[in-house]
Chains A and B, each alone.
Chain A
Amino acid sequence: MSAARKIGTNVRAEKGWFASHKWLILRRISQLAILALFLVGPLAGLWIVKGNLAYSLTLNTLPLADPYVLLQSLLAGHIPEKMALIGVAIVLAFYFLVGGRVYCSWVCPVNMVTDAAAWLRGRLGIKGGAQISRKLRYWVLGMTLVLATVTGTIAWELINPVSMLHRGLIFGIGMTWTIVLAVFLLDLFVSANAWCGHVCPVGAFYSLLGRFSPLRVSAAKREACNDCMDCFAVCPEPQVIRPALKGAKQNIGPAILSPNCTNCGRCIDVCSKDVFRFGLRSAK
């Protein structure tokens, strides 16, 4: 990784800005469109979607519910009504198919905050920082589930930045911005991708949910890789790439099988050799 060259210079020179940011643009459109659907109700009185990411009702018929928060509720000793159960079933099926952490990169509003932090971190040339284990998030996930069981409340929801930000944007932000700022600063100064890639139990939960998802990013043309390392530099979970990209000899891949790949598609965008594409888990 030469510090002299910025990430994605090659691909930008070859394909132009739009083609080299295709999936990023689509992802932003997805994130903003979902937010907009929630917001046209309270802002314009056009009630397409009511609620927030914990539970929503679309056109007064389609329920969608967050399985993680309902799991905590269940552990706290409450069995939900039918609508929440239907909503959970739909959401479970969806992320089981497209990859759990698609939630993180295509839906979650915090992603835009942490992406902004990552961008600024690159711009300011901030390097290094605290060493946080990527396994920490599973410990935090376990902790939230234990807490729900022990306290009989959905304790994590008292401080969950993900639901607080989304709820805040729709129902009034209040002091929630301080918590969002904390996440931003954590990612900017303490460690790269600290929140989404190391701490967040919501992402950890969704990664487990997408453990066997058929839709994966695949290093289909990995033999064309010229080791420019741009994909590693741009990826928020770079540890997921190596087995797929470099596993030809060990007969691993080419699909990225790690459940922590968020299917964000940045590696597809940034590669000038078109190594990556969306494909199936079983892709050869």
Chain B
Amino acid sequence: MNDTNAKKPGARQPSRRQFLIDMAKTACTVGLMGTGLALYSKQAKALPPLAIRPPGALLEADFQGACIRCGLCVRDCPYHILELAKPEHNVATGTPYFVARELPCEMCEDIPCVKACPTGALDHQLTDINKSKMGLAVLVDHETCLNFLGLRCDVCYRACPLIDKAITLEMLPNLRTGKHAMFLPTVHSDACTGCGKCEHACVLEEAAIKVYPIKLAKGELGHHYRIGWEEKKKAGQSLVAPDDEHQYTLPEGSRYEQGRGLIQGGNGESTAPGAQPGALKALHGDKL
């Protein structure tokens, strides 16, 4: 002991030096770890498109700061659709998600998963499941969708819990046959909750309709854009020009109706103005 004490003044310099070196070593190790983890966490923020968060989930960036990965939502889901991501999954470790094609959200009215969430990563303000926005269904593939091929599959439309609101069938003429109609499943973003029932129900090998994160699925108009007919509705009148009836030049005895097309012969219905014979002025009717 005495020896070491005697050496102390001389030994002090290298020990302070050693202390600083050790500090630097630790700091660099931890700094490296931290940088690696920061980069990984940035990657992990990118939720793969097919992984859907439970109803009421905050935006992904906020969600990963709020979800503590306790799994209570998983436990309280009566249909067992939710899973906590394992390290090998492409979703932030331990966070809940579901894959619609495997099992879609059944849209429970009492939303038990949201109620179970202790942190509010699933927002407790969501009390009406029909207002949830888990994603947005998109009819991705017009080439394989049976309705686009002219068939009446309609399965996604029928499976939709908000039928005729979130998915409607829009009738269009089938130009291939020239005489049939096509009923195109059309998703309406204001009503679609992203539950994924349509994707789950799609009869194809690979679903033609898929739920995507809203960010991927939805376009956004330029903020200065104004939609004419909506402005007109708001104003109660046309804002740019006098609003004239649309005029058509049509063969005698036929008339045209919006949405129905050309109608041959008068079958007792009132004749549309454009169908009046010899109405040459109709040529210029829409050029005011």
Which residues of A pack against B, CB within 8 Å?
Answer: 41, 47, 50-52, 54-57, 63, 65-66, 69-70, 73, 76-81, 83-84, 87, 133, 135-136, 139-140, 142-143, 146-148, 150-159, 163-164, 167-168, 170-176, 178-179
Question: With A69-B68, A76-B65 given, can you name 4 additional A-B contacts, CB distance below 8 Å?
Answer: A41-B75, A79-B120, A84-B68, A154-B68
A168 and B40 within 8 A (CB): no
Complex A-B: 18 CB contacts under 8 Å: A51-B72, A54-B69, A57-B72, A63-B118, A65-B118, A76-B65, A78-B66, A79-B120, A140-B30, A143-B30, A147-B41, A153-B45, A154-B69, A158-B40, A171-B83, A174-B86, A174-B88, A175-B87
A55, B121: Cα distance in complex, Å? 13
Contact of A77 among B38, B41, B65, B117 (CB under 8 A): B65
Q: Which residues of A contact B89 (CB under 8 A)?
A: 174
Smallest CB separation, A60 vs chain B (Å): 10
Which residues of B pack against A, CB within 8 Å?
Answer: 22, 26-27, 29-31, 33-34, 37-38, 40-42, 44-45, 61-62, 64-72, 74-76, 83-84, 86-89, 92-94, 116-121, 124
Nearest CB to that of B120 among chain A residues?
A81
Q: Which residues of B contact A133 (CB under 8 A)?
A: 22, 26
A81 and B37 within 8 A (CB): no
Q: If the complex has contacts A52-B71, A171-B71, are A143 and B34 also in contact, measured as CB distance less than 8 A?
A: yes
B69 and A157 within 8 A (CB): yes
A184, B31: Cα distance in complex, Å? 24
B94 and A163 within 8 A (CB): yes
10 pairs of A and B residues whose beta carbons are closest in the complex? A174-B86, A76-B65, A55-B70, A153-B64, A155-B41, A78-B66, A84-B118, A80-B119, A175-B88, A83-B118
B72 and A55 within 8 A (CB): yes
Smallest CB separation, B40 vs chain A (Å): 6
Smallest CB separation, B237 vs chain A (Å): 48
Q: If the complex has contacts A87-B118, A163-B69, A164-B93, are A153 and B44 also in contact, measured as CB distance less than 8 A?
A: yes
B84 and A81 within 8 A (CB): no
Q: If the complex has contacts A133-B22, A153-B45, A176-B86, are A158 and B119 also in contact, measured as CB distance less than 8 A?
A: no
B37 and A167 within 8 A (CB): no
Contact of B27 among A55, A139, A151 (CB under 8 A): A139
A51 and B30 within 8 A (CB): no
A191, B117: Cα distance in complex, Å? 40
Smallest CB separation, B158 vs chain A (Å): 34
B68 and A66 within 8 A (CB): yes
Smallest CB separation, A258 vs chain B (Å): 20
Residue with the highest number of chain A CB atoms closer than 10 Å, among B42, B72, B88, B89: B72
B41 and A158 within 8 A (CB): yes
Residue with the highest number of chain A CB atoms closer than 10 Å, among B42, B88, B118: B118
Q: Which residues of B contact A150 (CB under 8 A)?
A: 38
A170, B31: Cα distance in complex, Å? 32
Q: If the complex has contacts A80-B66, A146-B34, are A157 and B120 also in contact, measured as CB distance less than 8 A?
A: no
A159 and B30 within 8 A (CB): no
B72 and A153 within 8 A (CB): no
A103, B38: Cα distance in complex, Å? 27
Q: If the complex has contacts A168-B86, A170-B71, A175-B86, are A154 and B40 also in contact, measured as CB distance less than 8 A?
A: no
B27 and A73 within 8 A (CB): no
Q: Which residues of B contact A152 (CB under 8 A)?
A: 61-62, 64-65
Q: If the complex has contacts A136-B30, A179-B87, are A55 and B68 also in contact, measured as CB distance less than 8 A?
A: yes
Q: Which residues of A contact B76 (CB under 8 A)?
A: 50
Nearest CB to that of B89 among chain A residues?
A174
B84 and A78 within 8 A (CB): no
Q: Which residues of A contact B120 (CB under 8 A)?
A: 78-81
Q: If the complex has contacts A139-B30, A151-B41, A155-B38, are A50 and B61 also in contact, measured as CB distance less than 8 A?
A: no
